[in-house]
Structure 1
Amino acid sequence: MSSKPAAAPAYKPITRANVSNTPQWQRLSPEQREAIEVVSAVLPFRTNNYVMQELIDWDRVPDDPIFRLNFAHRELLEPRHFARVAELLHRQAPRAERDAVLSEIRRQLNPHPGGQLTHNVPQIDGRKLPGLQHKYRETVLVFPSPGQTCHAYCTFCFRWAQFVGEDEYKFATREAADLVAYLKRHPEVTDVLITGGDPMVMKTKVLARYLEPLLDDPELDHVRHIRIGTKSLSYWPYRYLDGPDADAALRLFERVVESGKHLALMAHYNHPVELSTEPAQRALARVRSTGAVVRVQSPIMRHINDSSQAWAELWRASVRHGAIPYYMFVARDTGAQRYFEVPLVEAWRIFRDAYSQVSGLARTVRGPVMSSFPGKVLVNGVTRIGGRDLFALQLLQGRDPEWVGRPFFAERDDEATWLTDLVPASGVHFFFEQEPVASERRSA
């Protein structure tokens, strides 16, 4: 374990309630302030003092990518929704009226894509297990209740519905007992992914309650890999740098590794600037010193990282600091996807161009990938067959393991941004469908 740096600053959350008290607020135009106030009434908004002071270039606002990543802006909502919410706030509508309108708008934003609440919830003896998801044979996801927030919220977040205060959208578990019981009945599960929100917002002793039961039980020997999905390395690297709980977290990581389990932090870095600061680099080094592996993933998003240069820089920086490039995702079909979406053809070209700029050490990355209802769909590229331009696709993961790795084709569509926009190259269904392609949105 490497030596600790100097004392870290205290974490200070910046939210809708106090953002107007920050000095940076004065640098924003009246239109930008209104956008933050209106949009953050619908979608969650939280940033912090590190992001504000170290990552955002305020001379580039509103076009700075980290500002776009953290701060609400008008285009995140449809014009009719923005106007409706602005009118409610302007006339100080009664809370009941306001909440009803906000809830209706949120319902139109596909709050839980990919069948998260309808198809992925496991059961024991007919009892649903809240806070667990089991979509792919090998992997179970765990949503600890204390980890259902983040050090800062991304404007593109596909789990935004967890953070808006509406119980109908939340899924979380308060203990590990259901997880352990379920895993003992499912020896096919090799991977447990602790996710959120962000599990690393929890105190280490709370995180340990979810991890330690997995380590020494011989009935759980089939669980070989433990993953933690987190953006803390980017948004609050001091989580690993200062104070008793930082050291405790690293000792917990060491304990997982010493138990013989593989520990991977699935780190969300959306732009190379997030890896450019000294605290971020130190935090990554300290985590790696425990024996944990860090894998880097992000969606490709308009206005934030839709250039091959940004991706090549991110992958090179990842390798330089000992992390493994893992996934380029496609922005999911929820929330403000309309603002961030990049056509699949363009995403593939950006991926290919960035991929060609890096050495083999960074070519562990895969993309662009859609985490869709049937599974993780990789866009391999565009090809010409029989005089027709087609998308070449395959499933990297599937609800049915028999689907994995099987190539399939769709008509090229330069406007398509998601699987449900695509038309099968032959027939009316893709091989994994029992209904037309539009069934995904209906069932999810």
Structure 2
Amino acid sequence: MQAPNANVPAPTLQKPQYKSYLLNNFRDIPQMSRLSEQQKFDIEVVGSVLPFKANNFVVEQLIDWDNIPNDPIFVLTFPQRDMLLPEHYDEIAALLKQGADKTIIREAANRIRMQLNPHPAGQIDHNVPVLNGERLHGMQHKYRQTVLFFPSQGQTCHAYCTFCFRWPQFVGMSDFKFASREIDLLIAYLREHPEVTDVLFTGGDPMIMSAKNLASYLEPLIQANLPNLRRIRIGTKALGYWPYKFVSDDDTEDLLDLFRKVSGSGLHLALMAHFNHPRELEPEVVREAIRRIRETGAEIRTQSPVLRHINDDPATWARMWNAQVDLGCIPYYMFVARDTGAQHYFSVPLERAWQIFREAYQQVSGLCRTVRGPSMSANPGKVQLLGVSEAKGEKIFTLRFLQGRDPDWVQRPFFAAYDDKATWLDDLKPAFGEEKFFFEEEMEQLFREKKGASTADDFE
């Protein structure tokens, strides 16, 4: 079977000069002339609390400036007024209008940020692993088979998604930042934990690193010859936000050679690509980037949350999954917007998320149906909403774990009382008058044991 575009000559795709836009220079974007002064001020207010960064590829090739402010890629990358609650917006707006000192604005922004659940799902309290009594702050180990690693040079992105649950990484809140240069500690941890088969490099975006820096992490993993390590994953938005990374950057060939080296070592390499809207798949440079990555033996799996204002429509998802499969990618997850940051702006009720998934699923062939969702990456694990049904005269949600802190929870169906306003697992109550979900007491015990072990380690 031929790869996509196998009979089409590779296009000449010269990269533009990279230019990033932040709060201090976004008004220099020529298209800003299409926005009112109030809209630009809104960007400044919201961008003082939530992170903002865009680049010229996003601005020039992805956003439809004739459809502002409703264009989905504009909403995806540029802060919108309603991403802050009214009282939070008013506080920051007043300070900006007063010309308040930057320190005062930052203090107010930090107070607001702390009310936005900056690290959901137990990322700091429950996911940080320990090796020889030392907490490994640049890693997370939530699920038995998979360790997350945060390379320190990859803790930024080419542009920031306005919904991103990793937003605290980008706003200077150092206590909430994960990062590690310690590849040796990762290897030592993997030797101590033979149950781990997968390492996921995440950030930020590891693909913002140079090929040389990425190799300084991947090559030691290859050379370690760990018998348990089978797969390396790299979470990235670079295919959507700066595809030239894989086509015409100065170190593109070194990067693709590195991918070939990983694949040639016998390890499986998967890029976990974030595409939030089908328009991100349309530029020819994106399609060429996908083709080149696949030629190295790497696999591309795709994922996104369902997001109000951006992709909360079944036809959009069906179009996106079809385009991804046509290009040789594998649809992987439809997530639910996490309970952090501007969740109130992006979230849809769980029942609506399920309807979007179900109706989109009905519109695509079996090759697209590798996707799973809608899934909540919550504290106990990845919980999929299977649907709305009725039992014992009660309307209920049926759910199951796709991943769990305890593997025994996986694939066990459970039931929640129907709630048409619920947007997250924590909003749900057990069905049939039960006091707790089946996993809650065991999860509490797991956390008590982990806290006790951590405390004991502190005194060794």
TM-score, with normalisation over the residues of structure 1? 0.96
* Aligned counterparts, 1:36-435, within 5 A: 36-218=43-225, 220-426=226-432, 427-434=434-441
- The CA distance in 2 between the partners of 1:368 and 1:202, in whole Å, is 31
Deviation digits for residues 68-93 of structure 1 (CA, Å, limit 9, x no counterpart): 00000100000000000011111111
- The CA distance in 2 between the partners of 1:92 and 1:180, in whole Å, is 50
- The CA distance in 2 between the partners of 1:48 and 1:301, in whole Å, is 22
Kept after mapping to 2: 8 A contact 1:4/1:242: no
CA distance 1:435–1:109, change in 2 (3 Å): farther
Kept after mapping to 2: 8 A contact 1:327/1:367: yes
Kept after mapping to 1: 8 A contact 2:13/2:285: no
Counterpart residue identity of residue 238, structure 2: S
Counterpart residue identity of residue 122, structure 1: P
- The CA distance in 2 between the partners of 1:210 and 1:18, in whole Å, is 34
Deviation at 1:169, TM superposition (A): 1.4
Tell me the C-alpha RMSD between the 2 structures.
1.6
- The CA distance in 1 between the partners of 2:103 and 2:323, in whole Å, is 49
Deviation at 1:113, TM superposition (A): 0.4
- The CA distance in 1 between the partners of 2:355 and 2:102, in whole Å, is 47
Deviation at 1:297, TM superposition (A): 0.2
Deviation at 1:120, TM superposition (A): 0.3
Kept after mapping to 2: 8 A contact 1:253/1:263: yes
Deviation digits for residues 120-175 of structure 1 (CA, Å, limit 9, x no counterpart): 00011111012100000000000011100000000000000000012111111023
- The CA distance in 1 between the partners of 2:182 and 2:61, in whole Å, is 36
Kept after mapping to 2: 8 A contact 1:429/1:435: no
Q: Which residue of 2 aligns with 1:27?
A: 34
TM-score, with normalisation over the residues of structure 2? 0.93
Deviation digits for residues 304-337 of structure 1 (CA, Å, limit 9, x no counterpart): 0000010000000000000000000000000000
Deviation at 1:436, TM superposition (A): 11
- Which moved further from structure 2: 9-18 or 325-334? 9-18
Deviation at 1:383, TM superposition (A): 1.2
Counterpart residue identity of residue 170, structure 2: F
Counterpart residue identity of residue 375, structure 2: V
- The CA distance in 1 between the partners of 2:442 and 2:117, in whole Å, is 20
CA distance 1:131–1:37, change in 2 (3 Å): same
- The CA distance in 2 between the partners of 1:71 and 1:243, in whole Å, is 25
- The CA distance in 2 between the partners of 1:25 and 1:435, in whole Å, is 53
What are the ranges of 5 or more consecutive residues in structure 2 without an aligned counterpart?
A: 448-460
- The CA distance in 1 between the partners of 2:304 and 2:41, in whole Å, is 29
- The CA distance in 2 between the partners of 1:176 and 1:207, in whole Å, is 11
Counterpart residue identity of residue 87, structure 2: R
- The CA distance in 1 between the partners of 2:158 and 2:102, in whole Å, is 28
Deviation at 1:94, TM superposition (A): 2.2
Counterpart residue identity of residue 242, structure 2: W
Deviation at 1:22, TM superposition (A): 1.3
Q: Which residue of 1 aligns with 2:456?
A: none
- The CA distance in 1 between the partners of 2:358 and 2:61, in whole Å, is 31
- The CA distance in 1 between the partners of 2:178 and 2:414, in whole Å, is 34
Deviation at 1:435, TM superposition (A): 9.2
Counterpart residue identity of residue 438, structure 2: F
Kept after mapping to 2: 8 A contact 1:378/1:393: yes
Deviation digits for residues 252-289 of structure 1 (CA, Å, limit 9, x no counterpart): 00000000000000000000000011111111111111
Counterpart residue identity of residue 72, structure 1: P
SS of structure 1 residue aligned to 2:340: coil
Kept after mapping to 2: 8 A contact 1:162/1:169: yes
Deviation at 1:103, TM superposition (A): 0.8
Counterpart residue identity of residue 367, structure 1: G
Q: Which residue of 2 aligns with 1:6?
A: 13
Kept after mapping to 1: 8 A contact 2:380/2:443: no
**How many equivalent pairs are there?**
438
Counterpart residue identity of residue 226, structure 1: I
- The CA distance in 2 between the partners of 1:272 and 1:346, in whole Å, is 20
- How many percent identity over aligned positions? 57
- The CA distance in 2 between the partners of 1:292 and 1:347, in whole Å, is 31
Counterpart residue identity of residue 290, structure 2: L
Kept after mapping to 1: 8 A contact 2:147/2:199: yes
